[in-house]
Amino acid sequence: MFLTFLTFLPLAGAIALAFLPKGNDSIIKQTAVGVAAADFLLSLQLWFDFDPTTHAMQFEFSTPWIFSWGISYHVGIDGISLLLFVLTTFLTLISIIASWEIKKHVREYMISMLALSTGMLGVFISLDMFLFYFFWEFQLVPMYLIIGVWGGPQRVYAAIKFFIYTAVGSLLMLVAIIWIYILVKEQTGVGTTDIIYITEHLNTSLDVQKWLFLAFFLAFAIKVPMFPFHTWLPDAHVQAPTAGSVILAGVMLKMGTYGFLRFNLPMLPQACNEFLPFIAVLSIIGIIYGALVSLVQKDLKKLVAYSSVSHMGFVMLGIFAFNQYGIQGALLQNLNHGVSTSALFLLVGMIYDRRHTRMIDEFGGLSKVMPKYAICFMIIALSSIGLPGMNGFVGEFLILLGIFQVNGLWAALATSGVIFAACYILWMFQRVMFQKLKNPKNFKLPDMNMREMITMVPMIVLVFWIGIYPQPFLKTFDASVTHLITKVDPDNFRPKRMQDQHHAALIKQDDLARLTKKLQGKNQ
């Protein structure tokens, strides 16, 4: 029940906002922040009470919902979803604080934000495919409104593109969900959409698995977004208001990778292994392509948007390494990207609020007028590159380690993405912050104010925390990932004589412990 409460608290807050008296925007903002803060603080309780030694679902709650179809309201959380849940409540709070400057239709904006939060939280706790789809589609509407009403000049186009693009993918997923429901009903006689039950009992031929895989793949790949399904992302990001971008990058993209971990890997492991080379290649193309395109962007926000394509390519690559390092790295990188890229969007938003432009060549020498801003930007930019001691490094390192055991060439190509990341971020940083302060409009820019510091400080704390002491985070993933790997391990599907040619094997617990210890040693 606690999970349900946490999930629907923002929605309840949104409904309450609708009844607040007119004309007093600050009360509306304060209520919204209050609700989001309460949700975040309470969700921390989940993390404290979470038992990291088991892969089983925790805080489970289940009650029949549409029992004619065997659909139940079944929620729960495991190591894979826990931190995404907390990240969502955290970023909701941050983005609501960051939208303090919204002037137009404040009440409707905050209602959309809170409703969006409920939709996203629901995705991460659903243990029923129907329920999952329910939330998955539900959160499209508030996001559509946030982009479309409060976005930039091209907002209508971007909002519709975002909506239709995502809807096409998810509708095919709906077909796959019904198909799985029918398959399970035929095989076991139990008509149910329960994810746990289906994961244990679904047993189909490789051909069917492949089709199901493709249907889920499309839905999640569009969300991640993987190359070549990423074209909605730059439009949506550039047009969305700052908070919209933060949520989009910080949480929504994670729903895609989460979907892979919850559906494709455990339910269709054989197809996953079949498609592994294709996905790896697409991810690597995404990593390099995203980085190269970022390099030539003139618009700061577009640059960050394309860098997301690159970073999410890393996450996908890590997931499809099918070993402990890779998946743990991917999960950690999920969080890292949520923190770093969201922070980058916040920073870009701050400068946009001041100058109403995001063109890189409008700036230059900002570090002289806005020293605090420059320092924050520096830290976040470096974390995004993956400098040791910061969060990006740990995640990327684990992913590369994982993928190296599968294929050395892939690892080498992916590593080049890290180098390109350094190029585009540092070059951008140089052009914006250093060089000569020559544009007169920049002479008198005010530095970050208190409210902006409040949104930025927690991000920076997280950057260093994950970078220096990632153990608490890795520990939460541990048991769930180990369990997941026993399902999807390539060895399960490989003819026995080929075994010695491959290195990707189940990695034991103590191996990981040694690695993390090594990492910490290096960082300290």
Partner 1 sequence: MEVEPILAPESIDLVSIAPVLVLTVFAMGVLILDLFAGKNKTLLAFVSIIGLLMTAISAFAKVRLPAHSFNDSYIVDNFSIFFILIFTFSSALTILISIDFNKRENIKAGEFYSLILFCTVGMIILASSTDLIMIFLGIEILSICLYVLTGIHRDHLKSNEAALKYFLLGAFATGFLLYGMTLMYGATETTNLIKIAAIIKAGGVSSEPLLLMGVVLLVIGFGFKVASVPFHMWAPDVYQGAPSPVTAFMAVGPKAAAFAALFRVFADTLPEISSFWETLLITISILTMFIGNLGAIMQTNIKRLMAYSSITHVGYVLIAVLAKDTLGSSALLFYMLTYAFMIFGVFTVIIILGRKGDENLEIEGYSGLGFKHPVITLCMTVFLLSLGGLPPLAGFVAKFYIFNAALQEGFLYLVIIAVLNSAISLYYYLKVIVFMYMKEPVKEFQLSLSPITLFVVTLAVIGVIQLGIFPEPIISLAQQ
Q: If binding is defined by CB under 8 A, does position 506 make contact with partner 1?
A: no
C-beta of 179 vs 464, nearer to partner 1: 179
Instruction: Please spell the DSSP secondary structure of 31-55, one letter per residue.
Output: HHHHHHHHHHHHHHHHHHH--TT--
Contact, 404 vs 484, CB < 8 A? no
**Count of all residues that appear for the chain in the document:** 524
Q: Nearest distance from residue 170's CB to partner 1, in Å?
A: 9
Instruction: Please spell the DSSP secondary structure of 281-330, one letter per residue.
Output: HHHHHHHHHHHHHHHT-SBHHHHHHHHHHHHHHHHHHHHTT-SHHHHHHH
Mention every residue, 6+ apart, whose C-beta is less than 8 A from residue 23.
Answer: none
Mention every residue, 6+ apart, whose C-beta is less than 8 A from residue 453.
Answer: 372
Q: If binding is defined by CB under 8 A, does position 454 make contact with partner 1?
A: no
C-beta of 25 vs 489, nearer to partner 1: 25
Q: If binding is defined by CB under 8 A, does position 437 make contact with partner 1?
A: no
C-beta of 28 vs 327, nearer to partner 1: 28
Distance CA 148, CA 291 (A): 28
Contact, 266 vs 199, CB < 8 A? yes
Q: If binding is defined by CB under 8 A, does position 25 make contact with partner 1?
A: no
| Count of residues in contact with partner 1, rule CB under 8 A | 35
C-beta of 68 vs 501, nearer to partner 1: 68
Distance CA 237, CA 302 (A): 7
C-beta of 136 vs 320, nearer to partner 1: 136
Task: Pick from 106, 140, 202, 268 the residue near partner 1 by CB under 8 A.
Answer: 140
Contact, 304 vs 341, CB < 8 A? yes
Helix then strand then coil, in percent of the chain rounded to 5, is 80, 5, 20
Task: Pick from 105, 355, 368, 431 the residue near partner 1 by CB under 8 A.
Answer: 105
Q: Nearest distance from residue 134's CB to partner 1, in Å?
A: 4
C-beta of 175 vs 206, nearer to partner 1: 175
Task: Pick from 133, 197, 363, 397 the residue near partner 1 by CB under 8 A.
Answer: 133
Distance CA 208, CA 494 (A): 19
Q: If binding is defined by CB under 8 A, does position 138 make contact with partner 1?
A: yes
Q: If binding is defined by CB under 8 A, does position 16 make contact with partner 1?
A: no
C-beta of 9 vs 131, nearer to partner 1: 131
- Site map for partner 1, 41-80, x if CB under 8 A? ------------------------xxxxx-----------
Rg of the chain (C-alpha set): 22
C-beta of 156 vs 190, nearer to partner 1: 156
Q: Which stretch binds partner 1 (CB under 8 A): 41-49, 130-138, 225-233, 308-316?
A: 130-138
Task: Pick from 20, 27, 37, 141 the residue near partner 1 by CB under 8 A.
Answer: 141
**Sites for partner 1 among residues 166-225 (CB under 8 A):** 167-168, 171-172, 174-175, 178-179, 181-182
Residue type, 41: L
59: which DSSP letter? E
Instruction: Please spell the DSSP secondary structure of 373-413, one letter per residue.
Output: HHHHHHHHHHHHHT-TTSHHHHHHHHHHHHHHHH-HHHHHH
Residues that bind partner 1 (CB under 8 A): 65-69, 105, 108, 130, 133-135, 137-138, 140-141, 144-145, 148-149, 155-156, 159-160, 163-164, 167-168, 171-172, 174-175, 178-179, 181-182
